[in-house]
């Protein structure tokens, strides 16, 4: 389990296949919010259980995070 902080804002978020999911736009009480990449939104929304209602940012739980590097957050 990774604990993200405000230092992680702006990092790219990619899924287990390396597909861009979006960018971390905020971190609140340990929950990161991802601004989705509009080009891949349709491909990843069902995999990430984001539903059909498009929002500005979606939460990712720390249990979903596989790895955090200096440049990206990998989920899945």
Q: How many residues does the chain have?
A: 76
**What local confidence, expressed as pLDDT, does residue 3 receive?**
80
Range list of H helices, 1-76: 41-44
Q: Tokens 């939104």 identify what position?
A: 41
Put simply, whether the predicted model's pTM sits higher than 0.95 gets the answer no
Which two tokens mark 33? 């919010």
Q: CA–CA distance from 69 to each of 41, 50, 52, 62, 73 (Å)?
A: 23, 24, 30, 14, 6
**What local confidence, expressed as pLDDT, does residue 48 receive?**
77
- Domains contained in the chain, CATH given: 6-75 (2.30.30.240)
The burial class, CB within 10 Å (0-12 / 13-18 / 19+), for 25 is middle
In tens digits, what is the pLDDT along the chain, a chain of 76 residues?
A: 578 899 999 999 998 889 889 999 999 987 899 998 888 877 777 777 777 777 888 888 788 899 999 999 999 8
């Amino acid at each position: 389990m990774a604990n993200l902080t405000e230092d992680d804002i702006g990092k790219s978020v990619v899924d287990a296949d390396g597909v861009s999911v979006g960018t971390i736009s905020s971190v609140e009480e340990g929950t990161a919010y991802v601004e989705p990449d509009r080009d891949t939104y349709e491909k990843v929304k069902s995999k990430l259980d984001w539903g059909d209602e498009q929002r500005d940012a979606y939460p990712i739980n720390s249990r979903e995070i596989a790895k955090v590097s200096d440049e990206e957050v990998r989920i899945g």
